[in-house]
Amino acid sequence: MPSSPGTLASQRPPRAVLPVLCVSQVASWGVLYYAFSVMLPTVLADTGWAAAPATAGFSLALVLSAVVGVGVGRVIDDRGPRVVMSVGSVLGAGSLALVSVSTSLAAFLLAWTSAGVAMACTFYPAAFAAVARWYGASRVRALTVVTLAGGLASTVFAPTTALLLAHLPWRATVLVLAAVLLGVIAPLHWFGLRAVWPDAPETGRTPYATTGSPARATTVTRSRPFLFLAAALTLSGFALFAVVFGLVPLLVERGVDSSTAAWALGLGGLGQTLGRGLYGVLTRATGVRTRTVALLGAGGACTL
């Protein structure tokens, strides 16, 4: 391995990076995100905790992930994703180990909150930062591949979690999922992301940054169209992810067995992958406004 950093122009994309990130996104999202909703009914039945406070820790984890993600991005930009994503996988495994031994609601919430840091280190933002720098001008195709693979996280891990719960107590199931992060994903990150980290572009902007002055960027982010779009995407994300997150408990409450409910959640992953694959066709056939309104409307119709 070369001892000095490379540049975007002189370095070819490392071969191992793309498959490693594809596998890690499936496992990281599957273990740290989708598995929770599948386990939740079993956890509540075993502990007697109420659903609302039990999910609060998971919600706090997502908030903490967003806050910590800013600093994580800066570290990756300076030093690369290898250490960050490896440590994130280990931390995720440790957080799940704490979940498995939690005997009080407070400990359960604290354990999931700590998992938020692991999410920031292992989810899409970290992976996208790695792909954008390593792949440079060919990053769009690589980002698409990682996104398509990540869409299968619920398809793989929702039924898998349900299968584990059918044969193991929920605490043992959590430990098995933690072992996936510690024994598989952490080594993949450590050995698969060790390629030379290229220098940032001389302009000081990341390869995917937009052109224009900082003043122009500030003007755009304060404009009414931008604020309306941000509000629309926020509310749409809230509605769609609330349905995804609550799907398994809802179906179980209505008499559907947990395995079937998990497969229903897993089918959503197939839909994500299909939708992401067809998005390129949609961009060629529609304008930005039409496409955005159509997709938000489709999300509302599916929610209904």
With CA atoms as reference, report the closest residue to 119 among 161, 153, 91, 160: 91
23/244 Cα distance (integer angstroms): 22
Percent with pLDDT over 90 in the chain: 68
Q: Is the pLDDT of residue 183 over 90?
A: yes
Q: Supply 199's token pair.
A: 């220098």
Using one digit for the tens of pLDDT, what is the confidence trace for 45-67?
999 999 999 999 999 999 999 99
Which pLDDT belongs to residue 2? 42
The closest of 85, 140, 134, 92 to 112, measured between CA atoms, is 92
The torsion angle over the Cα atoms of residues 246, 247, 252 and 256, rounded to 10 degrees, is 170
Per-residue pLDDT, averaged over 27-42, amounts to 95
pLDDT at 206 over 70: no
Query: What is the rounded distance in angstroms from the CA atom of residue 140 to the CA atom of residue 302?
Result: 28
Q: What is the largest CA-CA distance in the chain?
A: 60
Cβ 109 vs Cβ 59: under 8 Å: no
d(CA 256, CA 241): 21
Backbone angles phi, psi at 200, to 5 degrees: -70, 155
Which has the closest alpha carbon to 242: 303, 156, 154? 303
- Interval 270-294 mean pLDDT: 88
Smallest CA-to-CA distance from 128 within 30, 24, 48, 226 is with: 24
pLDDT confidence band for 1 (50 / 70 / 90): very low
CA distances from 299 to 6, 215, 235, 238, 296 (A): 43, 34, 11, 11, 5
Q: What percent of the chain has pLDDT over 70?
A: 91
Q: Is the pLDDT of residue 145 over 80?
A: yes
Q: Is the Cβ–Cβ distance between 117 and 125 less than 8 Å?
A: no
Q: How many CA atoms lie within 13 A of 52 on its CB side?
A: 0
Mean pLDDT over all residues of the chain? 89
Span 212-232, mean pLDDT?
Answer: 83
Residue 140's pLDDT band (cuts 50, 70, 90): confident
pLDDT number for residue 202: 63
Q: Which helix (H) or strand (E) holds 290?
A: helix 288-303
Taking the C-alpha atoms of residue 158 and residue 120, their distance in angstroms, rounded to an integer, is 21
- 239/172: higher pLDDT: 172
Please give the average per-residue pLDDT across 203-224, as a whole number. 66
Q: What is the DSSP string of 30-97?
A: IIIIIHHHHHHHHHHHHH---HHHHHHHHHHHHHHHHHHHHHHHHHHHHH-SHHHHHHHHHHHHHHHH
The DSSP string of 211-238 is PS-HHHHHHHHTSHHHHHHHHHHHHHHH
Task: Judge contact between 292 and 233, C-beta under 8 A.
Answer: no
- As a whole number, mean pLDDT of residues 166-186 equals 97
What's the average model confidence in pLDDT over 82-100? 98
Does residue 212 surpass a pLDDT of 70?
no
pLDDT at residue 242, rounded to an integer: 87
Q: Which of 55-69, 153-167, 196-210 has the lowest mean pLDDT?
A: 196-210
203: pLDDT confidence band, cut at 50, 70 and 90?
low
